[in-house]
């Protein structure tokens, strides 16, 4: 497919003019995008970085590798279904996976607050070892810094990973075409709402666990069954699936139309969102991914995913259309529709 897109909207160049850094700049929504595209990209990556994916691809004398980095500042450190150590491994493995790469090696940086009980650190290191083994990735180095008591909140972890590109798949938003299907690996919002409830500020309880896990085996199955038809993937962490799909709409200049009743959301997440005025599409996930798959590969993709443990909840939630160009529209089962924008502000800080 090489037909040029004629209906696309050309994304406007973004300039970073915000007078100070606020929590919203770390929330993964509009402000984060402004910071990355308006300050980091022009000064660090050259003037035309192209669409910013979850990992960079480096050409080492003909061998292409994927590289990415991620930091974790989640509060509280442990929560139902996971902990900061597990997130730190899965987050980087997943960023590589949705960039079409299998994580091979990670390095780890710890920023520790003086006074942190050693038992807390040890528990997280053990959680990391276990998650790394499950994801099949080697940890080959690291660094530790300690700051004065009160200058950090217990511990922060940063992981940097390199990955080998999977064969037979090219991730490029420019290859997305009207008619392509939007695939989601499972229910959304579990992680964000779990963290929110784990903080105990809301006096609300629900039987909910973070979805943190490696999505690599699911991505491998998808690529194996539908590789040539896979055009784009993303793990919708901060900012949620709504923000990721807005980034796609902007990068490909096409419209994304979702069917609300097809989007898997657990009742506990829906209920919490209804009460708090949040949209599940803006809530962070740590073990799901979105993919755009050519229509003719959609059945093969769904079949392959449903056979992988953890992929049973996958759904086709919508498709790419020419309109509304550059935006995401949700159609409801009762005949209404609405635009879903990127996350604005920071309703749930320090979620990962």
Return the number of the residue (75 or 270) whose C-beta is nearest another protein.
Answer: 270
CA gap 295, 293 in Å, rounded: 6
CB of 9 to another protein, least distance (A): 10
Dihedral Cα 227, 265, 237, 304, nearest 10 deg: -20
Return the number of the residue (22 or 143) whose C-beta is nearest another protein.
Answer: 22
CB of 10 to another protein, least distance (A): 15
Is the bond into 59 cis (omega within 30 degrees of 0)? no
Residue 226 contacts another protein per CB under 8 A: no
Convert the chain into a string of H (helix), E (strand) and C (coil): CCCCCCCCCCCCCCCCCCCCCCHHHHCCCHHHHHHHHHHHHHHHCCCCCCCCCCCEEEEECCEEEEEEEEEECCCCCEECCEEHHHHHHHHHHHHHHCCCEEEEEEEEEEEEECCCCHHHHHHHHHHHHHHHHHHCCEEEEEEEEEECCCCCCCEEEEEEEEEEECCCCCCCHHHCCCCCEEEECCCCCHHHHHHHHHCCCCCCCCCCCCCCCCCHHHHHHHHHHHHHHEEEEECCCCCHHHHHHHHHHHHHCCEEEEEHHHCCCCHHHHHHHHHHCCCHHHCCCCCCCEEEECHHHHHHHHHHHHHCCCCCCCEEEEEEECCCCCCEEEECCCCCEEEECCCCCCCCCCCC
Residue 165 contacts another protein per CB under 8 A: no
Residue 329 contacts another protein per CB under 8 A: yes
CA gap 213, 116 in Å, rounded: 26
Residue 229 contacts another protein per CB under 8 A: no
* Candidate ranges 85-93, 133-141, 284-292, 338-346; the one touching another protein (CB under 8 A): 338-346
Residue 222 contacts another protein per CB under 8 A: no
CA gap 92, 69 in Å, rounded: 6
User: From the list 113, 153, 220, 341, which residue makes contact with another protein (rule: CB under 8 A)?
Assistant: 341
User: From the list 81, 255, 280, 311, which residue makes contact with another protein (rule: CB under 8 A)?
Assistant: 255
**Region 20-79 residues binding another protein, contact defined as CB under 8 A:** 20-24, 30-31
Return the number of the residue (98 or 193) whose C-beta is nearest another protein.
Answer: 193
CB of 336 to another protein, least distance (A): 3
CB of 83 to another protein, least distance (A): 25
Residue 179 contacts another protein per CB under 8 A: yes
* Candidate ranges 142-150, 228-236, 308-316, 332-340; the one touching another protein (CB under 8 A): 332-340
User: From the list 13, 58, 202, 307, which residue makes contact with another protein (rule: CB under 8 A)?
Assistant: 202
* Candidate ranges 67-75, 124-132, 142-150, 326-334; the one touching another protein (CB under 8 A): 326-334
User: From the list 236, 280, 318, 347, which residue makes contact with another protein (rule: CB under 8 A)?
Assistant: 347
User: From the list 152, 270, 308, 310, which residue makes contact with another protein (rule: CB under 8 A)?
Assistant: 270
**Region 273-312 residues binding another protein, contact defined as CB under 8 A:** 274, 277
CB of 107 to another protein, least distance (A): 31
User: From the list 12, 119, 309, 334, which residue makes contact with another protein (rule: CB under 8 A)?
Assistant: 334
Binding site for another protein (CB under 8 A): 20-24, 30-31, 177-179, 201-202, 255, 257, 267, 270-271, 274, 277, 319, 321-324, 326-327, 329, 331-341, 344-345, 347
């Amino acid at each position: 497919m090489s037909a040029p897109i004629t209906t696309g909207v050309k994304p406007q160049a973004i300039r970073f003019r915000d007078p100070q850094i606020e929590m919203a700049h770390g929330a993964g929504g509009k402000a984060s995008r402004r910071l990355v595209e308006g300050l980091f990209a022009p000064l660090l990556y050259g003037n035309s970085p192209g669409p910013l994916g979850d990992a960079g691809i480096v050409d080492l004398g003909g061998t292409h590798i994927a590289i990415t980095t991620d930091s974790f500042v989640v509060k509280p450190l442990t929560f139902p279904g996971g902990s900061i150590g597990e997130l730190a491994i899965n987050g980087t493995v997943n960023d590589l996976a949705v960039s079409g790469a299998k994580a091979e090696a990670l390095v780890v940086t710890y920023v520790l607050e003086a006074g942190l009980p050693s038992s807390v650190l040890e528990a997280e290191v053990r959680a990391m070892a276990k998650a790394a083994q499950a994801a099949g990735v080697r940890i080959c180095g690291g660094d530790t810094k300690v700051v004065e008591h009160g200058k950090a909140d217990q511990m922060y972890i940063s992981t940097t990973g390199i990955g080998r590109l999977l064969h037979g798949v090219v991730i490029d938003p420019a290859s997305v075409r009207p008619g392509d299907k939007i695939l989601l690996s499972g229910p959304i919002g579990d992680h964000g709402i779990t963290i929110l409830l784990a903080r105990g500020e809301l006096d609300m309880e629900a039987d909910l666990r973070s979805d943190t896990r490696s999505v690599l085996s699911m991505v491998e199955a998808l690529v194996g069954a539908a590789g040539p038809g896979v055009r784009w993937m993303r793990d919708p962490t901060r900012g949620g699936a709504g923000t990721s799909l807005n980034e796609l709409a902007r990068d490909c200049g096409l419209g994304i139309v979702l069917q609300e009743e097809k989007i898997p959301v657990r009742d506990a997440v829906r209920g919490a969102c209804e009460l708090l005025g949040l949209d599940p599409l803006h809530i962070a996930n740590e073990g799901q991914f979105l993919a755009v798959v050519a229509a003719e590969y959609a059945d093969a993709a769904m079949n392959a995913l449903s056979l992988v443990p953890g992929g049973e909840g996958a759904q086709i939630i919508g498709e790419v259309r020419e309109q509304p160009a550059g935006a995401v529209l949700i159609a409801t089962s009762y005949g209404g529709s609405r635009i879903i924008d990127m996350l604005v502000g920071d309703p749930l800080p320090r979620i990962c």
